[in-house]
Amino acid sequence: MRFLLKTCFLFLLSQVAIAAPTIQYQHAQQRYIFPELTVSAEAFFTEFSQYSGIVIYYYPDLIIPEVFRGASLQENEVLRLLEQNFSLIKSFKDADLAALQILPEGQLQSDGLRLAGSTLVETSLTSDVVQQQPALLSDQRVRVLEEAARREKKIAEIKAQQEEQQAARKKKKADEKAQREQRLAEEKKNEFAKLQHYRDTDPEIYQRLLPFYRHRFGEPDFSEPDNTHQP
């Protein structure tokens, strides 16, 4: 009995391991996290198609490049790496990417393409046949695009808010600086008026105060006398 239970447990565990996704998908960030191990073309394109909603036809003998191992990428980054390593034929629906043919690098057409998620190679499915099919957005693709639009809108709102806050901080800093300079100018004007009074009435005190005023306000300028301030 214990042997039977153990066997059933191991079987269930193996089934879970088989069913476990190869690619981890972070929905909120729309980010794909790839495992450290090499991924088969079937697993790679099937899961990428399921998550992105892009209909994918691929050549079964493709080898996924090691550049994806352990990578954390957004959809546009995944597509860019695929373009750098394979030949991609894209189909669009109203300017939105709907389907992909992924062929060996340098090839523009191929026979025996496999639909991602299908277990059999469609030997009659060629690049020409695929291209003749109407480009349609899957329900998952529509959801992904809508989520991407919401995410981009949110990022734009956050960026605009940050720029507004930065501009407000910059203005506040400039205003505070202008106020400090204005206060200093007023203080300098008043203090020089006092110093000028001592220069005219008590030269001895004036000579004693002069170094302090020079250090604090710079060289006094009495070219425009002001008699409105008295000590």
Residue spans of the domains in the chain: they are 2-137, 147-217
From the list 57, 64, 76, the residue with the least C-alpha distance to 35 is: 64
Q: Are 196 and 225 in contact (CB under 8 A)?
A: yes
How many whole angstroms separate alpha carbon 75 and alpha carbon 32? 7
How many whole angstroms separate alpha carbon 229 and alpha carbon 213? 16
Q: Kindly report the pTM of this predicted structure.
A: 0.56
pLDDT in tens, the chain (231 residues): 444 434 443 443 344 334 456 899 998 888 999 999 888 999 999 999 999 999 999 998 999 999 999 999 999 999 999 999 999 999 998 888 999 999 999 888 777 888 998 765 554 466 665 666 666 677 777 887 888 788 778 788 888 888 998 998 999 899 999 999 898 888 888 888 888 888 888 888 888 888 888 888 888 877 755 544 444
